[in-house]
Structure 1
């Protein structure tokens, strides 16, 4: 090879890896993100220089542009689906207060230390106290990883080797192939099914009781409704039937609604269910409560203590950041899910009109349409929420998911709908920016 050929070889212009990694800006990025992510970005930029797609002197800025915002792979997404609690999008968005509490708890904390005495203290006492303040009908509370974990703990502690009595119509599958009866039987409990798919009476439950009964379970079906020739036994009826038997009544209410809400008249809540006579109630923390993923157990102090002392509890308990976020959700300002639920439809229409107007001014075919929202997460399946959406051509759906700030909407009748029911007002500017970014790529 001639000297001229070697001089023209683009590989000779590629900055060395060690030289790039020694750059102060990339060293700072390495401190924030770790060496592996920065080195991978360097390798990608070096390949672009080899192919002639990038000038060598642009290497460092290109590496910085290529780096992720955080060392994790999860990306913030704008939820324009109209579903408030979207499982695929992480369910409830946390409040700013909860996020701040997580950051404060991320380091060394007093999670199990009494600073006054220097001795070990009760884990999560403040979060549990916040739960009890929010649900005064409960004598005690416990927090585990999720609602399924709460149900597994109850079934193990109260039903292992014994019978759990529950209605056939409540042997539900709640998504992704997860089935309540499979979970219960995996704990070693035996299921005693009562009634039929569509009808069950208090007498059915009473007839199933025996010395082998560990508990009676009532599971809220959550994401489906049976209509027509139906009959069910409510918590109050069951509590009266079980009085004096010593058999605990456990109600899984699902969505984590703390108290009855006028917008969701058919959704069970923790306070009312305990007041009606349930001995224990179980619920999720990351649905209508609006907090982190958690399984909440509230009710009789002796039963909660029995669960707490069971060996399985140690495997299911939550970490300090979950406790911090839960407490802040309960003590702090109205969480985002409640704000989204309670936003008036006229406010949504005003926002949608403003968003569509900004898009139309930039040449985007944007219209305002009525579009119902949903609670999601299995909550209020037959109770649509009035909503308003910005309608775009259907080709926007896929590229919006790949925008710098991804937007997840949905396609209906050949139009992309961006439903503002599941977006806060603070999201509107980012929504407009994402749509304009996609529109610019097409022009």
Structure 2
């Protein structure tokens, strides 16, 4: 054993090896030495057990592998093959190249974020987008915060934050992902909830009765974007609600949730109300997301009457919820893409993926099948499968898009074999995320735009499964 211990190289010897020099160059001497010491501790345990020891180069290589693994960001790119285009857990919208370039420029340089270049005095960061948002929506004025939940919170706190009554249909008291419940948000905002109607049916008379009460501050309409009630239903549409609210001299707030600036029907999707339509229908304030159907970075837009927007901007909470320069730059670039509707699908990833035709995806599936089957080997049979994609993030929850993909069925082992396969796919350099259904792992290829990179990544699968 003493001979084995003497064969273990010192830290200095390992540092002077070829790979040791690489370690120092990439991670610095202190971190390299620490990783080497950890590996040498492992070598001593191996020596006590009579195992095979590494030489200096081998220790350095093991230390390098350790540091490389530790340096990997937990916020890693993945192949989203779940079939959900706007997957909340996978970051929702992928940004357009124009937005990425704009954000990169804002990162590299000082920018006139809150500086008016004409007057040389302090400016407002919202000014960079205000005119553009109003152009796209037809609203009098606009402001923005870091997401739509924050937009709803800020609006309610500003307009009904001292116990003012907020009239809302019971059928619109939604809960979305992450336990965001509308009644809880209203309570945190300081608003007093006034429920009207029933879960499935709410009439104008219900609103009229509530608006006759003292202390009503606003009427709230919430787009039920993450579920739909069908059958014996009734809701009061926004134009009628607007008239009721105006008669009571209170504002109508319309939370569109996902929100969209264009009619999605032209790409074969079910029609969603646009923000411009919500404004035209008489809403005094409209809130919507930036990172869902709009296809930009996370943000929450608030558009509507200029006097109400001015009051919202004076709320002290606005500063805590404001958007940084990176997202402002990316949002500006994204919104400008909408000025060229003929090329919008080509340039905006969200719409490009939603509008992708089934035949194109099916051809991709068939082309990848032989190579993928070769990689996974005989333990799994791979076949082209028909599947249904969905938009995600609460948008059009019952609508699906015809798609195609690859289905992996284990030859034996059932669910356990599928769990092992999904774990190995997640451990790849670029993790591959699919979904399990009908006794197989399905990789929906709607969101796969770089098949060469996918195959190169998948080529590591044999080693991982071994």
Name the TM-score, length of structure 1 as normaliser. 0.89
The SS at the match of 2:125 is coil
Cα distance in 2 for residues equivalent to 1:128 and 1:41: 52
Equivalent positions of 1:300-315 (< 5 A) are 300-315=305-320
The answer for the alignment partner of 1:336 in structure 2 is 349
The SS at the match of 2:391 is coil
Deviations 1:388-426 (A, max 9, x none): 1111235332211111110000112221110012x1422
The answer for the alignment partner of 1:437 in structure 2 is 460
The answer for the alignment partner of 1:375 in structure 2 is 391
Cα distance in 2 for residues equivalent to 1:97 and 1:117: 29
Q: May I ask how many residue pairs the two structures share in their alignment? A: 433
Equivalent positions of 1:166-205 (< 5 A) are 166-205=168-207
Distance 1:385 1:300, change over 3 A: same
Q: CA deviation at 1:141?
A: 1.4
Cα distance in 2 for residues equivalent to 1:403 and 1:362: 13
The answer for the alignment partner of 1:389 in structure 2 is 405
The answer for the alignment partner of 2:440 in structure 1 is 415
Deviations 1:312-365 (A, max 9, x none): 111111111111121122224632111110111111111111111332455753
Q: Does 1:234 align with 2:247?
A: no
The answer for the alignment partner of 1:285 in structure 2 is 290
Instruction: State whether residues 218 and 245 of structure 2, in contact with CA within 8 Å, keep that contact through their aligned partners in structure 1.
Output: no
The answer for the alignment partner of 1:15 in structure 2 is 11
Instruction: State whether residues 260 and 272 of structure 1, in contact with CA within 8 Å, keep that contact through their aligned partners in structure 2.
Output: no
The answer for the alignment partner of 1:355 in structure 2 is 368
Q: Does 1:134 align with 2:147?
A: no
The SS at the match of 2:200 is coil
Deviations 1:3-35 (A, max 9, x none): xx655316741424994799664454347xx97
Q: Does 1:77 align with 2:78?
A: yes
The answer for the alignment partner of 1:253 in structure 2 is 256
Instruction: State whether residues 20 and 26 of structure 1, in contact with CA within 8 Å, keep that contact through their aligned partners in structure 2.
Output: no
Cα distance in 2 for residues equivalent to 1:20 and 1:102: 42
Q: Does 1:29 align with 2:26?
A: yes
Distance 1:349 1:53, change over 3 A: farther
The SS at the match of 2:398 is coil
Moved more, 188-197 or 267-276: 267-276
Deviations 1:68-97 (A, max 9, x none): 596742111110000011111111122232
Distance 1:35 1:192, change over 3 A: farther
Name the TM-score, length of structure 2 as normaliser. 0.85
Cα distance in 2 for residues equivalent to 1:442 and 1:57: 27
Q: Which has the higher helix share?
A: 2
Cα distance in 1 for residues equivalent to 2:99 and 2:62: 35
Q: Does 1:57 align with 2:48?
A: no
Q: CA deviation at 1:195?
A: 0.5
Moved more, 65-74 or 250-259: 65-74
Deviations 1:226-271 (A, max 9, x none): 1111100111121122234321111111113112210333433211
The SS at the match of 1:358 is helix
Structure 2: stretches of 5+ with no match in the other structure: 47-51, 338-343, 411-417
Instruction: State whether residues 150 and 282 of structure 1, in contact with CA within 8 Å, keep that contact through their aligned partners in structure 2.
Output: yes
Deviations 1:362-404 (A, max 9, x none): 5753321110000111110111111111112353322111111
Cα distance in 2 for residues equivalent to 1:54 and 1:129: 65
The answer for the alignment partner of 2:415 in structure 1 is none
Instruction: State whether residues 256 and 283 of structure 1, in contact with CA within 8 Å, keep that contact through their aligned partners in structure 2.
Output: yes
Q: CA deviation at 1:40?
A: 6.2
The answer for the alignment partner of 1:214 in structure 2 is 217
The SS at the match of 1:308 is helix
